[in-house]
Copies of this chain bind each other. A is one copy, B any other.
Amino acid sequence: MAHDKYAVIISNFGNRSDRFLSGYGEDRTLTQLFAAAQKTAGLSGVELVGTWHITERNVAEVGRLLRDHNLQLVSIIPDHFATQVYGRGAFTSKDTQVRARAVADTKAMMDAAAELGCDLVSVWNGQDGYDYPFQADYIQERDWLVDGLRECARHRSDVRLSLEYKMKEPRTHCYLGTVAGTLLVAQEVGLPHVGVTVDIGHALLAYEDVAESIAILSRAGNKLFHMHLNDNYRLWDDDMIVGSVHTIEYLEILYWLDRVGYDGYLSLDQYPYREQPEEAIAESIAWLRALRRVVDRLGSDRITEVIRRGNAAEAQRLVRTAMLG
């Protein structure tokens, strides 16, 4: 399968904090993070986060680390969320200079990606949104958002911009919140190399059937650019081990990724607060491979037939017997 390629946001191997506790584990250097990724069976790619792992100044060093550890750079995620200057918004900050910096930082990360042989920048602008009623001019800020993203996209067309959505956190309401809302913005930006990243946990949090979200993006002209994988209890971005809560829906996701011909990486985005990170990542890959075998056993044609009939009991029988005999 084209999409049996696994990556990880490299910070998954590092320390984890929440708003109460500033370190569940230990800090690790960038080299240690790369070493952890290299040792994890099945991983062939990494994603890096601006500020945390990559800046305009360490591109050459990152290039060396990638080569030394035999890892592909899958995407760069510019930092629009972890630096105080963006605490009240990046592309939609009420401060013109902050908005300009968000655009500049994104362009810099596009250049860094290109230099490192990577054609994807995944934009997660989680601070663009609002917390309270009567706190934002939704029309004005939406204009800023679209204009800023378009300016980034025009910077160069050999690096794709993929917009990652999440309904909330860190803001109580984020502008890019749902698959459709993000596709709307991508369409308004109006350039072919702008698309959407589906984070499975974020989609679940928005009460999306993730497989439908994948289908919607594909049908809109191949707008599914990238996938982040994890699991949760559907009400918050718990960033858990893949498959630890949802089994059937993961099978449906894998079938639809095949169906729409997705050939990108399956990139893990977890927060193993209290787990040993290498174990948590390895377990996610093991789940994905085990679930993939179930889908392969069934075969796309048989599944397609069953979903077209739409008999829920028949569909359940199909997946149950494929999984459990």
Chain A interfacial positions (CB closer than 8 Å to B): 16-24, 81-84, 86-88, 94, 126, 130-140, 142, 167-170, 172-173, 177-181, 183-184, 187, 206-207, 209, 211-212, 215-216, 218-220, 232-236, 238, 240-241, 243-249, 251-252, 255-256, 271, 273-276, 279-280, 282-283, 286-287, 290-291, 293-294, 303-304, 306-320, 323-325
In angstroms, how far is the closest chain B Cβ from the Cβ of A101?
16
Q: Please name all residues of chain B whose beta carbon is closer than 8 Å to the beta carbon of A310 when the two chains form the complex.
A: 88, 94, 130, 135-136
Q: Could you tell me if A290 and B139 are in contact, using CB atoms closer than 8 angstroms?
A: no
Once the chains bind, are A132 and B19 in contact (CB under 8 Å)? no
Closest chain B residue to A175 by CB distance? B212
| Min CB gap A22→B, angstroms | 7
> When A168-B236, A178-B178, A316-B241 are in contact, do A135 and B307 touch as well, CB less than 8 Å?
yes
Establish whether residues B274 and A312, one from each chain, have CB atoms under 8 Å apart when the complex forms: yes
A23 — which chain B residues lie within 8 A by C-beta?
84
Let me know if B87 and A309 touch, CB within 8 A: no
Could you write out 13 A-B pairs with CB less than 8 Å apart? A21-B81, A23-B84, A94-B310, A133-B251, A133-B315, A134-B255, A134-B307, A136-B310, A178-B180, A181-B181, A245-B248, A283-B317, A290-B325
Given contacts A133-B245, A134-B303, A244-B248, contact A280 B218 (CB under 8 A): no
Q: What separation, in Å, do the CA atoms of A324 and B291 have in the docked complex?
A: 8
Report the bound CA distance from A104 to B311 in whole Å: 26
Q: CB-CB < 8 A to A311: which residues of B?
A: 135, 275-276, 279
For residue A119, give the distance in angstroms from its CB to the closest CB of chain B.
Answer: 26
Of A21, A94, A249, most buried by chain B (CB within 10 Å of CB) is A21
How far is A241 from B17 in the complex, measured between Cα atoms in Å? Answer: 25
Given contacts A167-B207, A168-B207, A172-B233, 17 further A-B contacts (CB under 8 A): A19-B19, A19-B271, A94-B310, A132-B240, A132-B244, A132-B316, A133-B211, A134-B252, A134-B312, A172-B238, A234-B235, A241-B313, A243-B248, A280-B313, A283-B317, A287-B316, A323-B324
